[in-house]
Amino acid sequence: MKKAFAGLFALCFLLLTLAAVPASAQQGTGKIYLYGENHSTQAHLDQELAAWKDFYHNQGMRDLFIEVPSYTAAFMNLWIKAEDDAILTRLYEDTEGTAGNSQATWDFYQAIKAECPETVFHGFDVGHQYDTTGRRYLMGLMLTGQMGSSDWDLTQKIIGQGKTYYQTLDGAYRENQMVLNFKEAFDALPAGTSVMVITGSAHSDIYQNDLSTGTVPCLANQLRQVYGENLLARNLTAGVDYTTAGLTSAVTLGGKEYSALCLAVQDLSGRMPQYQSRTFWLIQDAYEDVQALPLIGDVLPYNNFPWPVQQGEVFAVDYLLADGSAQRHFYRADGTSWQGMPTTVGFAAG
């Protein structure tokens, strides 16, 4: 019986080796397309599936990073090459009760297997399910004589991260480990390889800190600092697209020209039907010149902005309306509040 069990794992790990062949160095442009989702939300999964099919079929991408431990992704790579769903079924049993354990997510992965069968999954989270999925993966490595291999060492490391996280429930620790795990996996790919990343929306804002403690930059924020404009992030929950962040434009206020930095574009169509979107611009070095320009009675609280607003900053917000027309509004942060919330105030451009 033990011999047959070992033979089964030997076959599985041969498949894993085939599935884990990195993408060609000729693929992609070295971009990281990051999508922040509300786990198991059908609308988000639909957008992600459409994006991955486009990247896969039209841009030749094969590497898909998902918010799971490395050993879970390894099992996913076995499953996508298998003729049945036994491996995926077992993974779902292990994750019962978690946010990603849903029919919608199951169907999402089934669609990837059917339509993008050469997908290679990469996991970058800490060791969730370390005592079930993780232990089973280690057993497979042991039975196939891979104790002490790089895969063995990585699995042990990720399991150790999981144990530390669940002992401390330290969200900042988890955030930092996710960044390190991602960098290790991404940097190991051939130079120039582009990838898509699916993570929770709390990890997807390039200006924000981790949600649970607020003490360290979140995943996308840290990756932006490392990879610069090659990190292209979207928060699907908030409808915020950071892919144009960093673009500059000239803005005239009070007869003087300033440089404005694009922060993000937000889809408003599902929140305010009269609008399609709004684009946020940070107007640099303008406050001293515009603080005396007359107010117009408009306010925009800080929590509307994708950027951590500070007193003394000046913004332009471009609204695209449902009828195709456009409006531009100017706001400055004077340190005032509205209905108990810190707010920017609208002013005339002069």
Which domains are present in the chain?
2-238 (3.40.50), 248-347 (no CATH)
Q: What is the pLDDT of residues 80-136, one digit of tens each?
A: 999 999 999 999 999 999 999 999 999 999 999 999 999 999 999 999 999 999 999
Residue 196 has, within 13 A of its CA and on its CB side, a CA count of 23
Would you say residue 17 has pLDDT above 70? no
The length of the chain is 350
How does pLDDT run across 206-229, given as a tens digit for each residue? 999 999 999 999 999 999 999 999
pLDDT band at 29 (very low <50, low <70, confident <90, very high): low
Q: Residue 12: is its pLDDT beyond 90? A: no
CA–CA separation, 325 vs 323, rounded Å? 6
> Measuring CA to CA, how many Å separate 340 from each of 295, 309, 343?
19, 16, 9
CA atoms of 5 and 97, how far apart (whole Å): 29
Phi, psi of 78 (to 5 degrees): -65, -45
The DSSP symbol for 209 reads B
| Tens digit of each residue's pLDDT (9 = 90 or more) over 231-268 | 999 999 999 999 999 999 999 999 999 999 999 999 99
pLDDT tens sequence across 149-195: 999 999 999 999 999 999 999 999 999 999 999 999 999 999 999 99
Where do we find the tokens 């930059």? 217
DSSP strand pairing (32-37 vs 195-200): parallel
Ordered DSSP codes for 13-32:
HHHHHHHTPPPPTTSS-S-E
pLDDT above 80 (res 15): no
